[in-house]
A and B are shown apart, each in its own frame.
Chain A
C-alpha cells in the first residue's frame, strides 16, 4: 500500500512536470499580401491560422513604413551608475526577451551602461531609457544627433529625455534646440480615456502612468499620439507619443515605470515597445489600419483588403496571453 502510494505520487509528479514544460512558443499566423487585382489601389491580405485550445481574438495590423529592414537590436540603457541593475532595467529586459521568444524571434536585447555607450556602433538600434537621466548638454546633444541620423530612442517617464528644456519659474531653460516637453500628474478617469489609432491597432497597454505627457506641448513639436489620450479640463494628456526627428524617431512614454505593472509598469511598457518594433510602428509613415477577428478554437483563414500602399508591415497577434498567436510579413506594393 505504502509503495503503491509512493509510486503513484512519483508518477503523478512526473506527469505534471512534463505537462508544465513549455512546448510551443506561438500559434503561427500565415500572412500573404497581394496588390489589389480587382480594385486598383487596394491590397488584399490573406491570413490562415491553425486550431487553438481556446477562443480568442486575433488582431491584424497593416503599418505603412519607410524602411523594411530586419528587426533591429534593442539596447536598454542603465543610466543610474549605482551598484547592480535597477528593477526598471531588468524588468524591461526580462519582458522583452520572453515576449520576443514567444513570438519565435531571436532576441538581441542588451543592457548597456550609459558611460560605456558607443553611439556610432549602434546606429541601427532601438535604444530605451527607462529612468530619469542626468546628462550634460554635450552628451545630450550627441544623443539628439544620433536620433536625427536615423536612431530610434524610447524614453520612459519624466526626466528620461536627455535633450529637453526645463521649465523653471514659467521660463524654459536649456539649449534652444532641445525639446520642450511637459509632463503632468495624471488624474485617471476610466470614462475620459480614448485610445489612439496606434493604441487600438497594436493593443498598447500603457494606459495609466503617474505622469503623462501634455498633448499641447507635443502638438507644437509635431508629435503623433500613439498611446491613450486622457481628456481633462486642464488640457489633454497622452500616455505615449512618437516624434519624427530628422531621419529618426523619438518615442516618449509617461512614467515612471511603476506598479501596477500591467498598466504602468515593465510588463505593459515592454509589450508596447515590442509591438512598436515588430509592427513597424517605429518606422511608420502614417496611421496603421487594423482588423479585429473573433476566433473560435477551429482553424480559420480569410482575406481582407486595405487601402495602404507602398512599403508596409503586416502583423497578426493576439492581445490575450492565453492563446499566443503571431505572424508578420513585410510587403511592397505599387
Chain B
C-alpha cells in the first residue's frame, strides 16, 4: 500500500463517502456535552486511576480503579497531556452540598471532576465511537452494499444510548465493543490469530469479551465438515492471538499482583438487579432498604457467582448450537455472537445501561439478516436511557455544569433529585422497574428471533421429519 493510498483508505474508513454530515453532527453533539456532564459515581475511579498514574503509583494505587488495566493504558496519554496544562489538583473538587440529599446521594459521589478532565477522559471514548461506526460500515458494506452500510453507520453513530454512555456518563464500554466487532470481522474472514488478538484487547478493557472467546473456540472446535487437524490449528491461532494481547498486562501483574483481587473481587457485587431478569430483587430492595446495603446471600445458589456459572453453561450450549446451525457462516457468527452477549447480559448480577452497548451493535448487524431485530434494538436503547434517567434523574449528570459554571447551582440540581424522591421510593422504583422490564423484554425478543425458539423448535420436532 502506497502512502497516498493508505491515507485515502484511512480517510474513507474514518469518514465514509456520504457520511460527513452524520460524522460532524455526531462529533459536535459529543464534544459539546462531554466537558459539562459526568456520572459522578462512575467517574471517580477514573479520576483516582489518573492521578495515581501521574503520581507514579500505578492505576491501582488507591484500590479504587477495579477494571482490567486496558482503559488505564488508553487514558494515560490523554491525562499526561492534560497535566501539562492543568495541575492534577484542579482535576476535580469536593462539593459537600451534594451530600445534603441524604440517602439519595448514595449513587452520587460528591467529588465532581472538572470540564477539562471530563473532556480528556471522554476523548478516547469518542474516538472509539467513530471507529466503531466505521468498522460497522466496513462490515455491512462488504456484506450488503453501500446503502445498508450507510444506514448502519448512521443508526450507530447517532444512537442516543451510544452518545449518552460515552459522552455523558464517560463509560468506556464502547472501546470493548470496538474490539469485539473487530474480532468478529476478523473471525468471519478466518484470521483467527488477529481475531484472538482483538478479543484479548477487549478483555484487557472489560472482562465480557471472554464470552465471545468461548463462542469462537467452540465454533472452531465443533464445526462440521472440517478436519480435526484444521480445527485444532485454528483454535490454537485464536488462543495464541489472545495470549499475545495479554502481554501488556504482565508487567502490572508483577508489580501489582493484587490487581486480580481488585478486578474479580471488588468488581463483583453481592446485589442483584439492573436491566436483567433479576431486577425485581433490586426493586424490592429499594423499597425495603433505602440505604442500599445488601443483606448478602444466604447460600451459594443466591450468589452472583452461581448466576455467572449458569450464564457460562448457557453460553457453551448456545455456542455449540450456533456452530452446528445450518445458517451461512457469516450469519451464524453474527447470530452466535449476539446470542452469547445477550445471555451474558441476562446472567449478570447487575446489568447497567452501559452494558447494553455490548449487544446493540450485534443487534444492528443482525437486523440486516432479519429487519425485525430493529424493534428490540430500539427497545434496548430506550431501556438504557430510561434507566439512567430514572435512577437519580437527569440532574445528577449536570453537576460539572453546576460546579464549574454559574449557569445552574448544585442546590438547584439537588432540589430536582429530592423532588423526584419526595413522594417516597415507590414511584422511582416503579419507573426503574419498568425501564428494566423494557430491556428484559427486548433481550427475550432478541433471543426468540435469533433461535426461533420456541416455534422453530416445535416446528422441527413436529414436522421436521416430513420437510
Say yes or no: is B447 at the interface (Cβ < 8 Å to chain A). Answer: no
Q: B407 near A: Cβ within 8 Å? A: no
Q: Which residues of chain A are within 8 angstroms of B292 by Cβ–Cβ distance? A: 258-259
When C-beta atoms are compared, the residue in chain A nearest to B269 turns out to be: A87
Out of A19, A54, A257, A320, name the residue touching B76 (CB < 8 Å). A19
Interface hits, B250-269 → A, CB 8 Å: 251-252, 255-256, 258, 261-262, 265-266, 269
Q: Could you tell me if B58 and A94 are in contact, using CB atoms closer than 8 angstroms?
A: no
Residues in chain B near residue A97, CB distance under 8 A? 63, 258
Q: Does A188 contact B (CB under 8 A)?
A: yes
- Residue pair A1, B296 in contact (C-beta under 8 Å): no
Instruction: Chain A residues near B103: list those with CB within 8 A.
Output: 210
Chain A-chain B contacts (Cβ-Cβ < 8 Å), number: 168
| Chain B residue contacts of A193, Cβ below 8 A | 96
Mark A85-97 against chain B: 1 for CB-CB distance below 8 A, else 0.
1110011001101
A17, A24, A260: which contacts B73 (Cβ < 8 A)?
A17
Which of A13, A23, A322 contacts B248, CB < 8 Å?
A13
Evaluate whether A1 and B297 lie within 8 angstroms (CB atoms) in the complex, with A55-B89, A322-B51, A324-B55 already known. Answer: no
B1: which of A2, A23, A185, A323 is its contact (CB, 8 Å)? A2
Task: Establish whether residues A16 and B96, one from each chain, have CB atoms under 8 Å apart when the complex forms.
Answer: no
Measured between beta carbons, the chain B residues less than 8 angstroms from A208 are: 96, 99, 105
Q: Are A83 and B303 in contact (CB under 8 A)?
A: yes
Q: Give Cα A187 to B102, complex, Å.
A: 6
| A1→B88 contact, CB < 8 A | no
Residue of A nearest to B299 (CB): A83
Minimum C-beta distance from A265 to chain B (A): 9
A48 CA to B265 CA, complexed, in Å: 39
Tell me the bound Cα distance from A172 to B269 in angstroms. 37
A89 to chain B, nearest CB (A): 10
The answer to whether A260 and B52 have CB atoms under 8 Å apart is no
A186 to B99, CA, bound (A): 10
| Residues in B neighbouring A90, C-beta threshold 8 A | 261, 265-266
Check if A98 sits within 8 Å of B61, measured CB to CB. yes
State whether the Cβ of B234 lies closer than 8 Å to any Cβ in chain A.
no
Of the residues B91, B96, B300, contact of A190 by C-beta under 8 Å: B96
- Answer whether residue B243 sits at the interface, using C-beta atoms and an 8 A cutoff: no
Which of B48, B255, B261, B297 contacts A21, CB < 8 Å?
B255
B294-315 interface code vs A (CB 8 A; 1 in, 0 out): 0011111001010000000000
A250 and B68 alpha carbons, distance in the complex (Å): 38
CB of B460 to closest CB in A, whole Å: 41
Complex CA distance for A263 and B112, rounded to whole angstroms? 13
B57, B80, B87, B252: the one within 8 Å of A54 (CB): B87
Cβ contacts under 8 Å, A214 to chain B: none
Q: Does A70 contact B (CB under 8 A)?
A: no
> Taking A91-B266, A259-B41 as contacts, is the C-beta distance between A210 and B291 under 8 angstroms?
yes
Q: Which residue of B lies closest to A257 (CB)?
A: B293
Which range holds the interface residue count of chain B?
35 or more
Write the B339-373 contact mask toward A (1 if CB under 8 angstroms, else 0): 00000000000000000000000000000000000
Cα–Cα, bound, A5→B10 (Å): 12
A99 within 8 A of B: yes
Decide yes or no: A263 and B57 within 8 Å by CB, A54-B89, A82-B298 being known contacts.
no
Chain B residues with CB under 8 Å of A323's CB are 55
Q: Which of B17-73 contact A (CB under 8 A)?
A: 41, 44, 48, 51-64, 69, 72-73
Chain A residues within 8 Å of B248, by CB: 13, 17
A334 at the interface (CB under 8 A from B): no
B270 touches A260 (CB 8 A): no
B97 at interface, CB cutoff 8 A: yes
Shortest CB–CB separation between residue A204 and chain B, in angstroms? 14
Instruction: Tell me, in angstroms, the Cα distance from A98 to B297 when the chains sit together.
Output: 28
Interface string of A31-42 (1 = CB under 8 A from B): 000000000000
Contact between A86 and B270 (Cβ–Cβ < 8 Å)? yes
Contacts of A207 in B (CB 8 A): 96, 99
Among B48, B52, B56, B80: residue with most chain A CB under 10 A:
B56
CB B308 to nearest CB in A, in angstroms, measures 13
**Does B230 touch A at the CB level, under 8 Å?**
no
**8 Å CB contact of B107 from A13, A257, A259:** A259
Chain A interface residue count, CB cutoff 8 Å, equals: 58
Cα of A55 to Cα of B86 in the assembled complex, Å: 12
Between B69, B89, B91, B97, the greatest number of chain A beta carbons within 10 A of the residue's beta carbon is seen for B89
Q: B residues within 8 A CB of A145? A: none
Contact A83 B73 (CB under 8 A): no
Please state if B62 and A99 are interface contacts (CB–CB under 8 Å): yes
A25 within 8 A of B: yes
Does any Cβ of B come within 8 Å of A84's Cβ? yes
**How near does chain B come to A163, taking the closest CB pair, in angstroms?**
23
Known A2-B1, A190-B96, A262-B110; contact A53-B54, beta-carbon cutoff 8 A: yes
> CB distance B100 to A190 under 8 Å?
yes
Find out whether the CB atom of A262 lies under 8 angstroms from the CB atom of B111: yes
**Binary interface profile of A, 265-282, with partner B (CB < 8 Å = 1, else 0)?**
001000000000000000
A263–B2 CA distance with the chains assembled, in angstroms: 57
Interface contact B110-A13, CB-CB below 8 Å: no
Q: Which of A55, A95, A260, A320 contacts B63 (CB 8 A)?
A: A95
Indicate which residue in A86, A99, A189 contacts B296 across the interface (CB closer than 8 Å).
A86
**Interface readout for A1-30 with B: 1 if CB under 8 Å, 0 if not?**
110010000000100111111111100000
Which A residues lie within 8 Å of B80 (CB)? Answer: 19
Q: A258 to B270: give the CA distance in the assembly, Å.
A: 13
Q: Contact: B89 with A21, CB < 8 Å?
A: no
Whole-angstrom distance between the alpha carbons of A53 and B83 in the complex? 10
Kindly state the separation between the CA atoms of A18 and B6 in the bound complex, as whole angstroms. 30
B6 — which chain A residues lie within 8 A by C-beta?
Answer: 1-2, 5
Q: Give chain B residues whose Cβ lies under 8 Å from the Cβ of A17.
A: 73, 248, 251-252
Give A261 to B53 CA distance when docked, in angstroms: 20
Cα A174 to Cα B59 with chains together (Å) = 48
User: B99, A24: Cβ atoms under 8 Å?
Assistant: no
B105 is contacted by which of A95, A257, A260, A322 (Cβ under 8 Å)? A260
- Collect the chain B residues with CB atoms within 8 Å of residue A13's CB: 73, 248
A92: min CB distance to chain B, Å:
10
- A56 lies within 8 A of chain B by Cβ: yes
Q: In the docked arrangement, what's the CA distance between A265 and B110, Å? A: 12
* A256: interface (CB < 8 Å): yes
Cα–Cα, bound, A55→B91 (Å): 13
Q: With the chains together, A86 CA to B103 CA distance in Å?
A: 21
Question: Which residues of chain A come closer than 8 Å to B2, judged between CB atoms?
Answer: 1
Least distance between B46 CB and chain A CB atoms (Å): 13
A80 close to chain B: CB less than 8 A: yes
- Kindly state the separation between the CA atoms of A189 and B411 in the bound complex, as whole angstroms: 11
User: What 9 A-B pairs come out closest when comparing CB atoms?
Assistant: A22-B58, A322-B51, A322-B88, A259-B106, A98-B63, A190-B96, A260-B109, A23-B56, A94-B63
List 11 additional contacts besides A13-B248, A20-B72, A98-B258; criterion CB under 8 Å: A19-B80, A22-B56, A22-B255, A87-B266, A94-B63, A187-B102, A188-B99, A259-B41, A261-B64, A262-B111, A324-B55
23 A-B pairs with CB atoms under 8 Å apart are: A1-B1, A1-B3, A1-B6, A20-B252, A21-B255, A85-B265, A86-B296, A87-B266, A90-B265, A98-B63, A98-B258, A188-B102, A189-B100, A190-B97, A190-B100, A193-B96, A208-B99, A260-B111, A262-B110, A264-B106, A321-B52, A322-B89, A324-B61
